[in-house]
Amino acid sequence: QVRLVESGGGSVQTGGSLRLSCAASLFTYRKFAMGWFREAPGKTREGVAAVECDGGTRYRDSVKGRFTISKDSSKNTLYLQMNSLEPEDTAMYYCAAVRPPNCPTWWYVWGDYDYWGQGTQVTVSS
């Protein structure tokens, strides 16, 4: 059974940093595509960053240069290092995964991911 558990959210001021973690219980962890999505009140869920099946990393434009996604295969954990946080980054952040061969064509399409965590709240105050 695939299980994803996020942690690391919290409240910070503009310019602060947080590191989100997603602990994954995945037998074939290394082969999965995994991503971070976020959903703010009144807005649709959007892709933040992803590691694709081939290992490539992708970011939405608004977080490029500020966020870094990474995997620690020894710990079966996906990370999202978030620096220079802005109030617009306030949202519930979710970890998601999908097993090959169902690798997403477009990494940011949340409907293409099969497994989801419960989310961790990130709040950035001005």
Please give the pLDDT value at position 34: 93
**Residue 5 predicted with pLDDT over 80:** yes
pLDDT in tens, 107-123: 999 999 999 999 999 99
Average pLDDT of span 4-14: 97
Nearest residue to 90 (alpha-carbon basis) of 27, 36, 10: 10
Please give the pLDDT value at position 31: 79
Nearest residue to 41 (alpha-carbon basis) of 79, 91, 114: 91
Tell me which H or E stretch contains 116. Answer: strand 115-116
Nearest residue to 66 (alpha-carbon basis) of 10, 124, 106, 6: 124
**Residue 27 predicted with pLDDT over 60:** no
pLDDT in tens, 53-97: 999 999 999 999 999 999 988 888 999 999 999 999 999 999 999
Alpha-helix runs per DSSP H in the chain: none
Q: Judging by DSSP bridges, how do beta strands 115-116 and 120-125 pair with one another?
A: unpaired
Q: How confident is the model at residue 100 (pLDDT cuts 50, 70, 90)?
A: confident
Please give the pLDDT value at position 73: 82
**Residue 126 predicted with pLDDT over 80:** yes
Q: CA-CA distance, 58 to 80, in Å (whole number)? A: 12
Long-range contacts formed by 23-29: CB under 8 A, 24+ apart:
23/75, 23/76, 23/77, 24/76, 24/77, 24/78, 24/95, 24/97, 25/1, 25/76, 26/2, 26/76, 26/97, 28/99, 29/73, 29/76
